[in-house]
Amino acid sequence: MKDQVGGNHKRARFQALCQSLRPDLLRFAFWLSRDRALAEDVVQETMLRAWKAQDSLLDEAAAKPWFLTIIRREYARTFERKRFATVDVDELVAREEPMLAAGDEQNLAELRAALFKLPDEYREPLVLQVLMGFSTAEIARELGLSGAAVLTRLFRARKQLRALCGEDTSLDPQE
């Protein structure tokens, strides 16, 4: 009886944790994969893997990076399994138009489409920093890069993104 209560409590806590993190994890997976359906699959699989491995999560405060690492691994596995053909970014943008739309805020939709066009190596650290709130050191740890390399990628990512969006970049520094 005691075990069952403990199990139910554990399950409820885990369910609550998943629910609180799920929106950001789904968004992260979407920007990582640029594919809504794939993002949902990856996050679903991630939750199941996380449930099975929950004993390795020692501190709930560290849950976000823990889930994120599983998502990145799961995405890489999916990528290996499916061996995607080279993608046409314009096709991706057209396919994901409902997700990229932003009501009457045309500039947001354009920004989202521009983000699709950033190379993975720039898009991922940028999303980790801005959406997930990761510090440079956390991004470096997650991506296996040095802090300096992360800062360079973030610098290039914003520079390219702003140019893609037609921002005034006359004051931007050169490489």
Partner 1 sequence: MIDCTHYRRAMLAQPHDADPELGEHRASCHDCNLFTERLLRFESSFERALRVALPNPSPASDRVVPLPAKSSRAALRLQRLGRGWLAMAASVLVVVAVAGALWLSVSGPSLAADVVTHMAGEPQAWRRTDVPVPAPALLDVLRDSHLRLAAGAGLVSYASSCRFRGHRVPHLVVQTDSGPVTVMVLVHEQAPKSVQFDEQGYRGVIVPVPGHGSLAVLTQGAAEMETIEQIAHRVLDSIVWTG
Where along the sequence are the contacts to partner 1 (CB under 8 A)? 4, 7-8, 11, 14-15, 18-20, 22-23, 26-27, 30-31, 36, 40, 44, 47-48, 51, 99-100, 102-105, 107-108, 111-112, 115, 127, 129-131, 133, 136, 151-152, 154-155, 158-159, 161-162, 165, 167-168, 171-174
**Are the beta carbons of 43 and 33 closer than 8 angstroms?**
no
Residue number, 112 or 141, with CB nearest to partner 1: 112
Tell me, what DSSP letter sits at residue 134?
Answer: -
Closest CB 174 distance from partner 1, rounded Å? 8
CA distance 136 to 140: 6
Residue number, 55 or 83, with CB nearest to partner 1: 55
- How many CB atoms neighbour CB 33 within 10 A? 22
Closest CB 100 distance from partner 1, rounded Å? 7
Residue number, 23 or 119, with CB nearest to partner 1: 23
- How many CB atoms neighbour CB 149 within 10 A? 16
Tell me, what DSSP letter sits at residue 135?
Answer: -
CA-based torsion, 51, 52, 55, 59: positive or negative:
negative
Residue number, 57 or 86, with CB nearest to partner 1: 57
Closest CB 84 distance from partner 1, rounded Å? 21
Residue number, 83 or 148, with CB nearest to partner 1: 148
Sole residue written with tokens 């914003």:
158
Report CA 91 to chain centroid distance, whole Å.
21
